[in-house]
Structure 1
Amino acid sequence: MSGDTPRRVVIVGGGLAGHTAAVTLRAAGYDGGITLLTAEPHPPYDRPPLSKELLAGTVDDTTLPTDLADLDVDLRLRCRALRLRPDAVESTGGAHRHDAVILATGSSPIGLAGASRAVHELRTVEDARRLRAALREADSVAVVGAGWVGNEVATRAAALNLKVTVVDAAPTPLARALPAALGEHLVPWFAAQGIDLRLRTLVDGVDERGVRLTDGGRVDADIVVTGIGARPDTGWLLGSGVPLSPDGAVEADATLRAGPGPVYAAGDIVRWPSRLFGARIRVEHWDHAAASARTAARNLLGHAEPYDPVPYFWSDQLGHRLQYVGHHHGADRLVLRGDPAGEDPWTALWFHGERLRAALAVDDPRGARDARRRIAEPDTRSR
């Protein structure tokens, strides 16, 4: 270990990003102290299966396979970070001295205002187990939010033959991710699964009977589930010198370094400058959590690698597999390949000029692979 290499690294966040950062440090030969802080009572686990296999009951434990104790990582459970100082991370478990820090605290779900009864969210393994048990005892469920997670929950509930209603204020499903011209093609999928989809519908609150709507109507349901988005869990960084954007994201440079001292960020919380897409972007999915953590860990050890991947995400919902690659802007040209109204696979492609920026492949894994390869190809037109 060189004289510039930190002797004590504190990783804040016990999800996939924090776990991957610790494993990467050891794989790179780092032999200094590593402390991993997590607010949860569990060792790091995989989150995507929570709304998929765990909710379906095909798995019950998604703990990540690497034993951190074998890597001499000091794992501190139930230890929520409270403040970042230049020499230590203050937490509910005390102060943890450091020479370098990797921030990987992930996101927290946005709550639903006006709820006078328990409302299910789906962020932790406890959330998933509680919801799974509740679905087994229910006859009806209301899902507030037609986003990625909300649609996966609705799909599972429909498979259990529950009466399912999905409510969203937007005019189309997946409105945060897809333009309305594309999202409208997903609307028939809900009816095909027996799901009552109510768009352009505002929620006033939740009571013992179900969901109250602002137009005076209501959706009666045994269970209410919210999936209206998440925000970076970074409030504890206020005043630390780490730059935060208005949405709470950590503003990092191209190497994922963030703020004074050797502080790096990974996972949901980080926004970075992408040369590939010509914008600062933030991604909240599994592939990015792992890849950004590997880069942050290597750069903390002095590698100075730019982070510029092709983002990738997939979801099984409403009888279809959706795979999204890349990053599109509102001004990009949208081209459809195949017929969204038919039964065959189809793909939506976004172009900036002649260059492919992003793709949404529906039931078309090969199309997703080809698009990812094309997006990653260097643009040589200006050479």
Structure 2
Amino acid sequence: MRGPRRVVVVGGGLAGHTAAAALRAEGFDGGLTVLGAEPHPPYDRPPLSKELLAGTVDDTTLQADLRADLDVDLRLRCRALRLRAGTVESTEGVHPYDAVILATGSSPIGLGGTSRAVHALRTVADARRLRAALRDGASVAVVGAGWIGNEVATRAAALDRKVTVIDAAPAPLARALPGAVGEQLVPWYAEQGIDLRLNTPVTGLDDHGVSLAGGGRVDADIVVTGIGARPDTGWLRGSGVPLAPDGAVDADATLRTGPGPVYAAGDIVRWPSRLFGGRIRVEHWDHAAASAQTAARNVLGRDEPYDPVPYFWSDQLGHRLQYVGHHDGAERLVLRGHPSDSWTALWVSGRRLRAALAADNPRDVRDARRLIAGRLPLSVEHAADPAVRLTDAAD
């Protein structure tokens, strides 16, 4: 077939695995190399803070075996060092390519300290280490009331551990959502027996807990940090690949970036969305898989624009949260329902729905996706009424 004869995929996570599988599914029969920095074959990350941490599963390896099933040269413990025209330099040597897909994901933001009591949660090794610690530790301090921090706190509370969640922000999920939405979660912590400390900056971590601004302290056997992640793209500096201020790779609508036949997928990519306007970046499972499939097809000459309606879900403190769309730049926030029951936050610009976050309300998410994808005009007054189905609020 026409097109590249050698493709290198940099990144051994979901996006990298999906890109390799998609290339083969589309008929690519040339040389295909996947470089993964971890010692494990590609695996699913969302279960790390869910089923694997809970002990209900121990292996989240993705189903297709890249070596046996897809004839991929899979290099583990192989970290990319620099990108040059036609080659990727790694800790194992030089890998020539006709096209390359960048899918290196994100790395957790650390708080410093080397105590064995302090844990982050990004890899399967992290999850297994934390799971073992939770068997013995009686008390847990979670620094960061974000998506991962709340999932860890939920699992620890289910094990009857004493759990404290600490965040410098005035509301949970403050790095992802407006305070008016995060505040809806506050009662959930008490329902799970979790002590929530907001407006509480952390100044230090050690073997016995967390030091707080103002001289306070939370003693704990286990400390888990979950204050966000940043794109793992430092190795691309000086390569000619354009990087945004946060380290994201800037790509065009086909996920191509420069120079040459270079594409990006997953957590690291920022692309122009006609649906939402401007450049957007998403860090969730659904996008990692979908963007990798599009990048793979475009490597083979499809030139398909990538413009999905982003979606993700998370179990938070005994409740299922589902999000669809992209709310940055929305003009108005509308809360639908009551915090004591199922509820939905709607982000609206003019008469168009841009995003929705639903708590224990899957029908609203399905309806919101349809409204966003169809760019359907909305009666905001009707949409705010939980007795009115969202699709019935469309004009």
Which TM-score bucket, shorter chain as reference? over 0.9
What residue identity is the alignment partner of 2:144? G
Give the corresponding residue for 2:21. Answer: 23
Give the corresponding residue for 1:185. Answer: 184
Of 325-334 and 183-192, deviating more is 325-334
Give the corresponding residue for 2:276. Answer: 277
What residue identity is the alignment partner of 1:42? H
Match of 1:46, SS state, is coil
What residue identity is the alignment partner of 1:189? W
Give the corresponding residue for 1:40. Answer: 38
Give the corresponding residue for 1:59. Answer: 57
Give the corresponding residue for 1:359. Answer: 356
Match of 1:281, SS state, is strand
What residue identity is the alignment partner of 1:345? S
Match of 1:142, SS state, is strand
How far 1:346 sits from its partner (Å)? 1.2
What residue identity is the alignment partner of 2:348? F
* Cα root mean square deviation, aligned: 1.3
Question: Contact conserved, 1:115 with 1:205, CA < 8 A, in 2?
Answer: no
What residue identity is the alignment partner of 1:348? A
Give the corresponding residue for 1:93. Answer: 92
Question: Contact conserved, 1:83 with 1:237, CA < 8 A, in 2?
Answer: yes
Give the unaligned 5+ runs of structure 1.
Answer: none
What residue identity is the alignment partner of 1:264? Y
How far 1:330 sits from its partner (Å)? 4.9
Matches for 1:301-320 after TM superposition, within 5 Å:
301-320=300-319
TM superposition score normalised by structure 1: 0.96
Match of 1:215, SS state, is helix
Q: d(CA) in 1 for partners of 2:102 and 2:320? A: 32
Of 156-165 and 117-126, deviating more is 117-126
Of 205-214 and 323-332, deviating more is 323-332
Question: Contact conserved, 1:310 with 1:372, CA < 8 A, in 2?
Answer: yes
Question: Contact conserved, 1:320 with 1:362, CA < 8 A, in 2?
Answer: yes
Once the two structures are superposed, residues 134-174 of structure 1 have per-residue CA deviations (whole angstroms, 9 ceiling, x without a partner) of 00101000000000000000000000111100000100000
Give the unaligned 5+ runs of structure 2.
Answer: 379-395
Give the corresponding residue for 2:382. Answer: none
Match of 1:288, SS state, is helix
Q: d(CA) in 1 for partners of 2:113 and 2:260? A: 42
Question: Contact conserved, 1:114 with 1:204, CA < 8 A, in 2?
Answer: no
Matches for 1:83-162 after TM superposition, within 5 Å:
83-114=82-113, 116-162=115-161
Do residues 371 (structure 1) and 368 (structure 2) align? yes
Q: d(CA) in 2 for partners of 1:61 and 1:115? A: 27
Do residues 172 (structure 1) and 163 (structure 2) align? no
Q: d(CA) in 2 for partners of 1:60 and 1:88? A: 36
Match of 2:174, SS state, is coil
Identical aligned residues as a percent: 81
Once the two structures are superposed, residues 168-212 of structure 1 have per-residue CA deviations (whole angstroms, 9 ceiling, x without a partner) of 010000001111111111111101111000001011101222100
What residue identity is the alignment partner of 1:131? L
Q: d(CA) in 2 for partners of 1:221 and 1:332? A: 42
Give the corresponding residue for 1:203. Answer: 202
How far 1:333 sits from its partner (Å)? 1.0
